[in-house]
Amino acid sequence: MSKQECEKNNYQTKNNTNTVKLRNWTIAWVITMAIATFAPKFIWDFNTALTITAVLVNLAVGFKMLIANRDYLRGLDEMQRTILLEAMALALGVGLVVGLNYTMLENIQLITYKPEIPHIVFIMVITYGLAVVSGHRKYQ
C-alpha cells in the first residue's frame, strides 16, 4: 500500500470536512443567538419585526447545526461513533436526573435562588466532555 493510496483515504477527508462544517454552523448559531439576545435591546430598540426575524434566523441556523452534527456523527467510524453516542447518552441522562433534582431543590426550600437552565446545560457539557475523554482512554 503506497503513501499515495494512503492519501486517497476519504475517511479522514470526509471527517475533516464534516468537522469544519459543524464548527462553522456552531459559530453561526452562537452569533445568531447573541444577536437575538442582545440586538433587540442595544441595536433596534425592541422592534418586533426585527426581533422575530432574529429569533427565526437563530432557529433556522440551529437546525442547520443539528443537521451538521448528524452528518458529523454519520461520517465517523464505528468506534468513534460509539464513544460519542455513549457520551451523549450519559450527558442526557445526567442532565435529566440532575436537572429534575435541581429544580426540586427550590420547591423543597433547600436553595433560595431560582434554578436556571444554563446551570444544567453547563453540567451536561462537562459530563459530555469527560465522557468523551474517558471513552477515548477506554479504547486506547
Q: Which residues bind another protein (CB under 8 A)?
A: 1, 5-12, 15, 77-80, 82, 136, 138-140
Minimum distance of another protein from residue 2's CB (angstroms): 9
Distance in angstroms (rounded) separating the CA atoms of residues 101 and 74 = 33
Dihedral sign of CA atoms 76, 92, 68, 33 in order: negative
Distance in angstroms (rounded) separating the CA atoms of residues 123 and 140 = 26
By the 8 A CB rule, do 75 and 20 touch?
no
Distance in angstroms (rounded) separating the CA atoms of residues 32 and 25 = 10
Minimum distance of another protein from residue 9's CB (angstroms): 4
Of the pair 5, 46, the CB lying nearest another protein is at 5
Minimum distance of another protein from residue 90's CB (angstroms): 18
**Grid coordinates in use for 41?**
435591546
Minimum distance of another protein from residue 139's CB (angstroms): 4
Distance in angstroms (rounded) separating the CA atoms of residues 72 and 69 = 5
Residue 76 DSSP code: S
Minimum distance of another protein from residue 63's CB (angstroms): 28
Of the pair 6, 110, the CB lying nearest another protein is at 6
